[in-house]
Structure 1
Amino acid sequence: MFKTIVTPRFGDIDGLKHANNIAIAIWFEQARNPIFRLFTPDLDLSYENWKLIMARTEYDYVGEMFYGADVDVITYVSRIGNSSFTVTQEAWQNGKIGAIGRSTIVHYDFINKRSVPIPDDIRKELEEHLQKESSSCN
């Protein structure tokens, strides 16, 4: 499990004084970097070095989040397949969950344009962060 602390910016807040849905998706993207580093430690985005492709994202907005207090984004792996895995993320503010996100990420060969099996050494690292979704996510 990884924890990233995000400080909501003024521009992340909508007219109803809530964190905007798009801002939450951006916070989750930022908090996935430790997972990305398992595959590409320096986060080199060059065509021949990047090894992941996002196949699906979904978000459940389950509570309110506001400007003025940090948000804890908890990131963990909830499923590992042959060439893909699911990352689950939770955004918490002031002890209350505000959003849950799930991303299906595929280990991908961009040159040959196909998915490839997750290497055993990286699979072991992913397994270190494998956990069931918390009851607050269901």
Structure 2
Amino acid sequence: MARTLQTAIQQRFSDVDAFQHVNNVSQQEYFDVGKVEYYREILGAEVLGGDLRIVTVSTATSYLGQVRMYDSVCVTTTCERVGNKSLTLFQQLRANGVVCSESRSVMVVFDFPRQQSAPVPEAWRERLLVGD
């Protein structure tokens, strides 16, 4: 079973348009907040600043409903798949408990000193997938 993390999102005034809707760019930023928290909690802070890091290579988002200015918003993040050099994250943005958008991101392990992709470390794989 993959580990899932829920992250509360604090909306900013600038996230909302004149119709009091959270715009799509801000929703994508909410997904990024969820990713950072997921990395920190599940993989450890070293994936954000070590020699081996995770970089996004592809993101697809579906917008299913509206997020409004005063909604209670959270993002859930889980790892759907771990490959040789990549992993796929699945996220849902919920407003007042209702799924309003979903995002899938393909992430690659990147060796910054060598400037190339690298295999997913076994320790990361174990932290991402519990019981798989």
Structure 2 SS opposite 1:18: coil
- Aligned mate of 1:2, from 5, 22, 28: 5
Aligned to 2:129: 127
Aligned to 1:93: 95
Structure 1 SS opposite 2:101: strand
Aligned to 2:16: 13
Q: List alignment gaps of at least 5 residues for structure 1.
A: 131-138
> What amino acid is aligned across from residue 30 of structure 1 in structure 2?
V
Q: How far does residue 29 in structure 1 lie from its aligned partner after superposition?
A: 0.5
Deviations along 1:60-113, whole A, 9 cap, x unmatched? Answer: 111011111220211001111001001111011122111101111101112222
Distance in 1 of aligned mates of 2:6 and 2:131: 12
Deviations along 1:33-59, whole A, 9 cap, x unmatched? Answer: 1333355525654xx635121111121
Q: How far does residue 126 in structure 1 lie from its aligned partner after superposition?
A: 0.8
> What amino acid is aligned across from residue 26 of structure 1 in structure 2?
E
Distance in 2 of aligned mates of 1:107 and 1:122: 10
Confirm or deny: 8 A CA contact 1:40 1:49 kept in the other structure: no
Q: How far does residue 119 in structure 1 lie from its aligned partner after superposition?
A: 1.1
Q: TM-score, normalised by structure 1?
A: 0.82
Q: TM-score, normalised by structure 2?
A: 0.86
Aligned to 1:108: 110
Structure 1 SS opposite 2:14: helix
> What amino acid is aligned across from residue 56 of structure 2 in structure 1?
M
Confirm or deny: 8 A CA contact 1:40 1:50 kept in the other structure: no
In the TM superposition, structure 1's runs of 4+ consecutive aligned residues that sit over 2 Å from their partners are 34-40, 42-45
> What amino acid is aligned across from residue 9 of structure 2 in structure 1?
V
> What amino acid is aligned across from residue 36 of structure 2 in structure 1?
N
Distance in 2 of aligned mates of 1:88 and 1:82: 18
Counting matched residue pairs gives 128
Q: List alignment gaps of at least 5 residues for structure 2.
A: none
Which is worse superposed, 112-121 or 33-42? 33-42
Distance in 2 of aligned mates of 1:15 and 1:74: 27
